[in-house]
Structure 1
Amino acid sequence: MLEDGTGLSEIRIDDTLVATQEAIEYANLLDDGTAVAIVQFRGDADQVATIADETPEIISCTVTGGEAWLAYLQYEPDEVERTLYELVDTEAISIDWPVRDTADGVQVTLFGEDAALQQMIASVPDKIDVRLERAGEYQPDTDDPAAQLTDRQKEIVRAAIVAGYYDIPRRATQQDLAAELGLSQGTIGEHLRRAEAKIIQFVIV
């Protein structure tokens, strides 16, 4: 099962801890009420790949290999998590990904107008303990691979992830993405190639 207020901090199968979360690279609430997330874990990737069979709230799970790896999850969020996603959308606030676990809890960087941020904080359910650490001019995290991408590239990559373009087997094509976003297939392909090249160069070089 998954444990934590967000449902994504630890993965246990048969009461055995098989992986721990290090960061949420991206998450989004879908129109059908489910959520998708790209999560960096450390642990047994092969075991986590079976989590959809073991845990009812997990609809699907695709993982990469390695000691520290990524999992693409579609799952049923709990009430608290769904409320937080809805608040972000309602108040026109953006999340600076990734979201990281710390010894003091989940650390989230938000950016938006002061009034919207204050309204969101005031609207957070009482069961969630929120502490504002600092406020000021937004400074992107230059250590984040996603910070290397343009806003357009991020939009297309996120759409590709949600549509299942990176799933194995692939559930969407560049043509599908082009139709969804109202762009040509060539434009979609070029944006994806440039985004992938930037991320790979940032991580590997």
Structure 2
Amino acid sequence: MRYSTIIISLDEQIRSTTDQQLRRGVDDPRAIWIDGSRVATQEAIHYINLLDDGSVVGVAQFRGDAAHLARIQEDVPHIISSTVTGGETWLGYMHYEPGDVERAILERLDSEAISIDWPMRETDSGLQVTLFGDDAAVQHLITALSEDVSVSLERKGEYEPEIGDPGEHLTDRQTEIVRTALAAGYYDIPRRATQRDLAAELGVSRGTIGDHLRRAESKIIRAVLQ
């Protein structure tokens, strides 16, 4: 299996949003500014997912004012919700409405038969993303991404993942739902099932499915990072 590590150059147009209260990359491509004040630096993205309703959930690693970022939904209308962990370097979970360019990038990532070697890392040059899978599919995705943003190839080669067992941290109910999602094709690229499909199969609400999946995904991400 092959991998390619690319740099996506997120310039001011892409990093900024239509809401001028929140800005990205004013003097540092990793910087987050709220109302003219730099509140945090985003160092890595450990998970990001485009939901059926067009909104995005993500878990990212930050350094800076955790308390301020935890209240970001109060300051920035397109942030639906946010929670943070503690410590000097901390994780932030966010649910938000993406801009058009970010949505286009995530739709392309979902449309190809490739996987992402998490985390995506913020660098001085842009967002560093490692893709793996069939070489032709990876190259097709890189070409497609180049239609939306500036993409440069950093390196490529044979993929050798480090394998762990993060599933041991899930509850029985979370394991059941994640296994159902896998079997139904929820995590396939492109997806063959939605959260509504899973809710109908398991006899629960879509909100319950979404909550269990987000909690399970968060546990898996934390386990991988330890």
Q: What is the TM-score normalised by the length of structure 2?
A: 0.64
- Give the direction of change, closer, same or farther, for the CA distance of 1:180–1:68 in structure 2 (3 Å limit): closer
Q: Which residue of 2 aligns with 1:199?
A: 223
Q: Superposition pairs for residues 41-120 of structure 1, below 5 Å?
A: 41-120=62-141
Aligned Cα root-mean-square deviation (Å) = 3.1
Q: Pick the aligned partner of 1:134 from 132, 155, 160.
A: 155
Read off the aligned partner of 2:69 and give its amino acid letter. V
| C-alpha separation in 1, matches of 2:140 and 2:43 | 29
| C-alpha separation in 1, matches of 2:177 and 2:146 | 38
Residues 89-122 of structure 1: per-residue CA shift (max 9 Å, x gap): 2111111100001121111000011111111111
Contact kept? 1:34, 1:74, Cα under 8 Å = yes
Gaps of 5+ in 2: 1-21, 182-201, 203-211
Amino-acid identity (%): 47
Q: Pick the aligned partner of 1:149 from 165, 180, 183.
A: 165
Q: What is the number of equivalent residue pairs in this alignment?
A: 167
More strand by share: 2
| C-alpha separation in 1, matches of 2:78 and 2:175 | 27
| C-alpha separation in 2, matches of 1:2 and 1:149 | 38
Contact kept? 2:85, 2:92, Cα under 8 Å = yes
| C-alpha separation in 2, matches of 1:12 and 1:64 | 20
Q: Pick the aligned partner of 2:144 from 116, 123, 132.
A: 123
Contact kept? 1:34, 1:75, Cα under 8 Å = yes
CA drift of 1:175 comes to: 3.8
- Give the direction of change, closer, same or farther, for the CA distance of 1:10–1:117 in structure 2 (3 Å limit): same
Gaps of 5+ in 1: 158-172
- Give the direction of change, closer, same or farther, for the CA distance of 1:100–1:174 in structure 2 (3 Å limit): same
- Give the direction of change, closer, same or farther, for the CA distance of 1:129–1:179 in structure 2 (3 Å limit): closer
Indicate the SS of the match to 1:18: strand
| C-alpha separation in 1, matches of 2:97 and 2:33 | 17
> Taking CA–CA contacts closer than 8 Å with sequence separation of 6 or more, which of the two structures ends up with the larger relative contact order?
2
Residues 60-114 of structure 1: per-residue CA shift (max 9 Å, x gap): 0000111100000001111221112111221111111000011211110000111
Q: Which residue of 1 aligns with 2:10?
A: none
Residues 18-48 of structure 1: per-residue CA shift (max 9 Å, x gap): 1010100111111110011100000011111
- Give the direction of change, closer, same or farther, for the CA distance of 1:180–1:112 in structure 2 (3 Å limit): closer
| C-alpha separation in 1, matches of 2:137 and 2:108 | 10
Read off the aligned partner of 1:96 and give its amino acid letter. D
Indicate the SS of the match to 1:121: helix
| C-alpha separation in 2, matches of 1:68 and 1:96 | 21
